[in-house]
Amino acid sequence: MTFRHRHLLGIAPLAPPEIVALLDLAQDYADAMRGGRKHWDALHGLTQINMFFENSTRTQASFEIAGKRLGADVMNMAMQASSVSKGETLIDTALTLNAMRPDLLVVRHPASGAVDLLAQKVDCAVLNAGDGRHEHPTQALLDALTIRRKKGRLHRLTVAICGDIAHSRVARSNLHLLGKMENRLRLVGPPTLIPAGAAEWGVEVCHDMESGLRDADVVMMLRLQRERMDGAFVPSEREYYHRYGLDAAKLSGAKADAIVMHPGPMNRGVEIDGTLADDINRSVIQEQVEMGVAVRMAAMDLLTRHLRAG
Ligand code: NCD
């Protein structure tokens, strides 16, 4: 299968068969890694540069490990917020990096659309590691792979995405992906954290956890993204936890075998109860991290196949 895209900027442009092919390849990598394998040559001789203009722990580490396992030369650039106007900084940086002839650029940026803009200025493949509140495609793909492994399918599931939808690129990418696969999607949260117009996206909107979680197969919790909030969106964390924080009592309204997901970083006692997050019978949070490496390997492998052809 050839991946017809030059970049991975979002889930929106991907066709369902492309998503399935990427997940199948990631599944192969995941199985091999569970078997103990740690090295491949798919990216041998290629240069991967990670540019994170926003803090990240797991995503940056995951992309770095994925590149190294595939044999790439991986470089991490510590990008600090600059006082220069954002557009200028970004394009200058892009041109500078481009001159170093990387093959893969992994970019995280606080501004929605910044990664797309950068991709237009460089000659190599660009992977979006999260841009503002726009998209975070590898997160949605690793969530999908985790769901498929746990539920045996990626369609006709009831998925409740709960919490701070308004500021979440994870929610947006997941809505695209799970929507393309024909699932029943619910957004659950206070009205202040659900974007106006969400009801017209073909999803159900619930403002209480009881109706939102009813008969759900998958419960996906999101962090309150305070760094993207302009003012206060919730009265207090205590009040928020009381109404929207996931605990065993609220989860009991979902299906008996419902899985609990969270992209991390978690705020225990704010959006999720710590004990539930650690409950290996319900929570798949660690498997999400594990699948993250496999999905990023698959994405970088597919985006560089044309360099290996012939
Ligand atoms: C998410 C992100 O950065 O968008 N985290 C991640 O990539 N694992 C979600 C978040 O920051 O809450």
C-beta contacts of 15-20 below 8 A and 24+ residues apart = 15/180, 16/180, 16/181, 19/141, 19/144, 19/177, 19/180, 19/181
How many angstroms is it from 265 CA to the middle of ligand 1?
6
Q: Please report the atom of ligand 1 found closest to the CA of residue 169.
A: 4
Q: Please report the atom of ligand 1 found closest to the CA of residue 223.
A: 12
How many angstroms is it from 28 CA to the middle of ligand 1?
25
Q: Please report the atom of ligand 1 found closest to the CA of residue 56.
A: 3
How many angstroms is it from 264 CA to the middle of ligand 1?
6
Q: Please report the atom of ligand 1 found closest to the CA of residue 168.
A: 4
Cis status, amide bond into 265, omega within 30 of 0: yes
- In this prediction the pTM is 0.96
Report the nearest-CA residue for atom 12 of ligand 1.
223
How many angstroms is it from 146 CA to the middle of ligand 1?
16
Residue-level pLDDT at 267: 94
pLDDT grade, residue 84 (50/70/90)?
A: very low
Q: Please report the atom of ligand 1 found closest to the CA of residue 170.
A: 4
pLDDT grade, residue 87 (50/70/90)?
A: low
Average pLDDT, the chain: 94
pLDDT digits (tens, 9 = 90+) for 104-162: 999 999 999 999 999 999 999 999 999 999 999 999 999 999 999 999 999 999 999 99
Q: How far apart are CA 60 and CA 139, in angstroms?
A: 12
How many angstroms is it from 74 CA to the middle of ligand 1?
22
How many angstroms is it from 88 CA to the middle of ligand 1?
26
Ligand 1 neighbours (beta carbon < 6 A): 58-59, 130, 136, 139, 169-170, 223, 225, 263-264
Walk across the sheet containing 259-261 and list its strands: 204-206, 184-188, 158-162, 218-221, 259-261
Q: Which residue has the higher pLDDT, 78 or 261?
A: 261
Tell me 79's DSSP state.
Answer: P
pLDDT grade, residue 86 (50/70/90)?
A: low
- What is the arithmetic mean of pLDDT over 268-292? 97
